[in-house]
A = this chain, B = another copy of it.
């Protein structure tokens, strides 16, 4: 048994090479998004140095991240934007439709169900569940909210492997157990609790309160509001003037 905060470092198709670090995988998704934008802007090729300039991610980091998978670029030239975009999509398996289910059709869950970014990344939300009888049977965007107790039965049809969990903290573990029993192998958890899952199941936690707390800490050295003194040093894009 395992209690999960981070995803365990397992290699898909365990070969000889060292598995890519999880931070590399996270950045891969960032690169993908960035490359999508570049491709829309008709940019043909890009160098690692230019990636650094535009994203702030160190150029060597970018190259090393890619090196875990294959060779993508041409020395002296750079990377073909469309090619790299598609190859990263293949690595992350966001090049083909992937089914998702969601539990918890509340405030946050409803926002997620209507989020077009999911489709754009080929995540296909196929079912939404709740335990509130006032909600079950009602439509949410293009889906009908279903009884959470039917999740196993319903997922025998869909065979989704990823679930989004957007229920209150107190219910999160209970629902997780249902999801695991329904064959779910990966959970994106929005409740601020650590879930207990078998070690065959991956969990990633999203916690805004945690993020806000970290920001709050970082401000704690500062005066409550530094007035507008700093603003005099800023150009009209809000950036520091005169810095390289």
The chain A residues found within 8 Å of chain B, CB to CB, are 1-5, 7, 10-14, 22, 25-26, 28-30, 32-34, 37, 54-57, 91-94, 98, 100, 107-108, 110-112, 114-115, 117-118, 121, 123, 159, 161-162, 169, 176-181, 183, 185-188, 192-194, 196-200, 202, 204, 206-222, 224-228, 230-231, 233-234, 236-240, 243-244
* Nearest CB of B to A70, in Å: 15
Across the two chains, which residue of chain B brings its CB closest to A120?
B209
Listed residue (A22, A29, A179, A181) with the most chain B CB atoms within 10 angstroms of its CB = A29
Contact B181 A238 (CB under 8 A): yes
* Oligomer: number of copies: 2
Q: Which residues of B contact A123 (CB under 8 A)?
A: 209, 212, 216
Known A177-B237, A196-B239; judge A211-B220 contact (CB<8 A): no
Known A29-B213, A92-B217; judge A56-B207 contact (CB<8 A): no
